[in-house]
Each structure stands twice: as structure tokens, then as C-alpha cells.
Amino acid sequence: LAEPINVVVTGAAGQIAYSLLYQLAAGSVFGPEQPINLRLLDIKPMMDVLQGVVMELEDLALPLLRDVLPTADAGVAFKDAAAAFLVGAMPRKQGMERKDLLAANVKIFKDQGEALEKFARKDIKVLVVGNPANTNALICSHYAPSIPKENFTAMTRLDQNRAQAALASRLGVQLCSEMELTPLVDKVKNVIIWGNHSSTQYPDAAHAVADLPGKGSVKVSSAVNDNAWLNGEFLETIQKRGAAVIAARKMSSAMSAAKAAGDHMRDWWFGTKPGQWVSMGVVSDGSYGIPKDVVFSFPVNIKDKKFEIVQGLEISDFARSKLDITAKELEEERAEAHQIITS
């Protein structure tokens, strides 16, 4: 077995962490050969709750899990960290404006960026889950200048998983029912989430393919053959899925969010499969005419723990208009964050 690595989870007493921690301890993210030390960060008032989480982690009796450290001190949590899931954030409360939410989170992610700068490994992989995830990741990276900006990403994998599941379900109804086959969600690949993890995101099935029994690899858009659905109901369902889960569960997505965070980090760690890409919020390099220096979700290929934005995809006029809307929102968030920092 390898030497243990330090893995940080912030918001460790919260509901996403509760599902995520098991995946980490069980080896489903960093692999069955990689022991881990968990560093659990939350705010002081949550320390008793966090102690209960620590007890449960002990009781898992999982051999890959070594040292578990609960703390309210970011400096302690990030010491020599090799990977971090920044899940903890200030939630939006009733009557709170986006600006208020951003102000609270700018402070959190500035402090955590500074702690990362001082204490973490320079090759740390940081995944920001806490909302507004894209802009939080940008702020965090800004305050950790000695860590490459490619090491900061924001999670749109839950949106990708939702889109993939919705397409598989639609294809299953259309194509598999006569063959009495259950549609397999993993047969759908290369659906893209562009932009912000917010309702302006653009779930794009134009480049998605599906391996269908007896039919081989087919373009999802041809198989669905219904542009009105792809550009209408499908898109809106994915954009509003988070709100739909809250309306039903009275709490936000947690199990699926934790699974997506694990998927994101595992692909970053081990790479993507040949011919498959995944969506991640990364600092824009200007690809596809997106303004630089916003954290924008792009399709990426990953090899040797490094991602590359997939180039050369055809962007239709419809897609262009959607990309511009979500890019504009991210520029506005960045301007608001800048104003908060400088005021």
C-alpha cells in the first residue's frame, strides 16, 4: 500500500459530507490501494456534531482510513493536504440576495485560499462544491497564488450526471422498450455542462453519443430526434433539477451531490476513459470565446492528473447564445466579488 495522503472535507458536519466521507473511506475515490487521513473542517458550533461523524467513521472499520482529525482551524485542516473537497459554504437563507450570499462566501473562500497557500501541498487538487461554486473556486485560487490555478475546479458533475440519466431515460423509452432492455445510464456519454453551476448552465446533448444494444454507437440527438425537447424540456429540467429536489425533499441534493463529487475527483485522479470527456468548472483560458479568468464548466479530458479542455467542438447559434448568457452571469459574479473585496 502507498503512504497515506491527507484529504480535506470542509462542511464535514453537513449532509453532502455525510455521504461523501463513506466513499472516501471505502476507497471508491482514490482507489483501493490508497490509505487516507481525513481532515474534517467545520465551524466551531458544529464540533459536537462532527464528533459524532468521527465516531461513525471509526465504526465503519475500514482499513484504508487511517487518521481522522476534526477541526475548526483551516490551517490545521489544510496542512500537507493532497486533495480537498470544499463543501462547506454559507447557505442562502430566505430573503437573502445573491450579493449577501456572495459576500459571506467571499470571506470563507478567501480565508480558505490563504490557508491553502500557507499549508497545503502545491500539487493539491481542490474541488469546490459549496455555492456559488464557480465563483468560490475563483476566489479561493486567487488567494492561493503559489498553487497553479489548474488545481482549482468547481463541481458541475452533478448536473452532468443528471443530464446523462435524463437522456438514458428518454432513449430507453424510445429505443429499448421494444427490445425489453433496461436503458443503461453508463451507455450515454459526452453530454456537456457549459458555464455556471446555476440555472443559467447549458446542458448540451449535441455531442453526446450512446452505445445502444444492437445499434452500436449512435448520436443522441439523432436517436432522440426531437430538437424541441432537447432545447426545451430537457434543458429546463436539468437547469431546475436542484430546485425540484429541494421542493420534494425539503432539503437540497446530498446523496447525488456526494456521488458526483466522488466521480469528479476520481476522474481527476485517475484520468478519463479514451474518447470520453467530463464537465468541470475550470479557470477559463478563453476557449470557445469564453472570457478568461472566470471559472467556467467545459468538457475536459484528463491524463496524468491534468485536464485539457476539449477543443474544436462545433457550437451552433443556439449553443452560442446559451454560452454567452452563462458567461455573462459569471462575469457579473466576479465583478460583485471584486467589489466586495475592495470595499
Catalytic residues: 197
User: Is the Cβ of residue 171 or residue 198 nearer to ligand NAX in the bound state?
Assistant: 198
Please report whether residue 310 would count as binding ligand NAX according to CB under 6 A. no
Positions 259 through 288 that interact with ligand NAX (CB under 6 A)? none
Residue 10: CB minimum distance to ligand NAX, A: 4
Stretch near ligand NAX under the rule CB under 6 A, chosen from 182-190, 249-257, 266-274, 316-324: 249-257
Cell numbers describing residue 115: 490557508
DSSP symbols for 131-180 = SSHHHHHHHHHHT-TTS-GGGEEE--HHHHHHHHHHHHHHHIIIIIGGGT
Please report whether residue 137 would count as binding ligand NAX according to CB under 6 A. no
Please report whether residue 11 would count as binding ligand NAX according to CB under 6 A. yes
Please report whether residue 129 would count as binding ligand NAX according to CB under 6 A. yes
Please report whether residue 71 would count as binding ligand NAX according to CB under 6 A. no
Residue 297: phi and psi, rounded to 5, are -80, 125
User: Is the Cβ of residue 117 or residue 226 nearer to ligand NAX in the bound state?
Assistant: 117
User: Is the Cβ of residue 249 or residue 292 nearer to ligand NAX in the bound state?
Assistant: 249
Residue nearest to ligand NAX (CB): 14
Out of 108, 147, 282, 283, point to the residue binding ligand NAX (CB under 6 A). 108
| CB distance 309 to 298 below 8 Å | yes
Out of 21, 257, 278, 282, point to the residue binding ligand NAX (CB under 6 A). 257
Positions 173 through 232 that interact with ligand NAX (CB under 6 A)? 197
Determine the size of the site formed for ligand NAX (CB under 6 A).
Answer: 29
Query: Buried b / exposed e across 121-152, counting CB within 10 Å, b at 16+?
Result: beebbbbbbbbbbbbbbbbbbbbbeebebebb
| CB distance 12 to 40 below 8 Å | yes
Stretch near ligand NAX under the rule CB under 6 A, chosen from 6-14, 200-208, 301-309, 316-324: 6-14
Please report whether residue 70 would count as binding ligand NAX according to CB under 6 A. no
Residue 176: phi and psi, rounded to 5, are -95, -20
Cell numbers describing residue 64: 484504508
DSSP symbols for 94-112 = TT--HHHHHHHHHHHHHHH
Distances (CA, A) of 304 to 82, 150, 270, 284, 300: 15, 13, 7, 20, 13
Distances (CA, A) of 248 to 91, 95, 130, 166, 253: 18, 21, 21, 18, 10
Please report whether residue 253 would count as binding ligand NAX according to CB under 6 A. yes
User: Is the Cβ of residue 126 or residue 212 nearer to ligand NAX in the bound state?
Assistant: 126
Positions touching ligand NAX (CB under 6 A) are: 10-11, 13-17, 41-43, 46, 87-91, 108, 129-131, 133, 155, 158, 197, 242, 252-254, 257
